[in-house]
């Protein structure tokens, strides 16, 4: 086993469904991470393009050597078996504020959703919206450069 993987520990488990939203089963993470997950869960309700997301299983992994946390997701879309836990992208420091944690989680979840052939979130003008930290606020940026705070998405206009 790779040395990095040996030291990682699971610090959060939870899930998301359209009916229940984000639910945390267990966590040893600071409160900003839980608030960030709730905001992310709000945005999962809207702007899916392609197969609808039916369920996401979450596990956050902590690297004590680097102090970073990665949110891994197992995404299930309509008509498919659950995907396996995964998450390619970047983590955030365990002591990150809510917006820093949220941008990391949004990036990681978005990539796992895309692995299941669903584009999320979808912009008003089409195309993916990308998570970014803008003036300290976690936002989605669409292809026109417009930004929307993560956690406030509504259906496209």
Q: Do 53 and 122 contact (CB within 8 A), yes or no?
A: no
Give the pLDDT of residue 133: 97
Q: Give yes or no for residue 1 having a pLDDT over 90.
A: no
Report the distance separating Cα 20 and Cα 7, nearest Å.
32
Closest by CA to 49, choosing from 141, 118, 140, 115, is 118
CA dihedral 117, 118, 124, 129 (to 10 degrees): -90
In sequence order, what are the residues at sequence separation of 6 or more whose Cβ sits closer than 8 angstroms to the Cβ of residue 34?
Answer: 24, 27
Q: What is the mean pLDDT of the chain?
A: 92
Q: Among the ranges 3-12, 26-35, 87-96, which has the highest mean pLDDT value?
A: 26-35
116-133 pLDDT per residue, tens: 999 999 999 889 999 999
CA atoms within 13 A on the CB side of 25: 12
**Res. 138 pLDDT band, cuts 50 70 90:** very high
44-91 pLDDT per residue, tens: 999 999 999 999 999 999 988 889 999 999 999 999 988 888 887 789
């Amino acid at each position: 086993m790779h040395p990095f993987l040996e030291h990682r520990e699971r610090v959060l488990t939870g899930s998301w469904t359209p009916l229940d939203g984000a639910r945390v089963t267990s966590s040893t993470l600071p409160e900003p991470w839980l608030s960030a997950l709730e905001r992310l869960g709000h945005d999962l309700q809207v702007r899916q393009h392609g197969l609808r997301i039916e369920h996401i299983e979450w596990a956050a992994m902590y690297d004590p050597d680097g102090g970073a946390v990665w949110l891994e997701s197992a995404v299930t879309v309509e008509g498919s078996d659950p995907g396996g836990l995964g998450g390619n992208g970047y983590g955030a420091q365990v002591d990150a504020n809510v917006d820093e944690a949220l941008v990391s989680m949004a990036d990681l979840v978005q990539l796992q959703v895309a692995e299941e052939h669903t584009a999320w979130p979808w912009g008003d003008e089409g195309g993916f919206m990308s998570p970014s930290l803008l003036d300290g606020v976690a936002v989605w940026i669409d292809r026109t450069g417009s930004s929307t705070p993560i956690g406030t998405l509504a259906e496209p206009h």
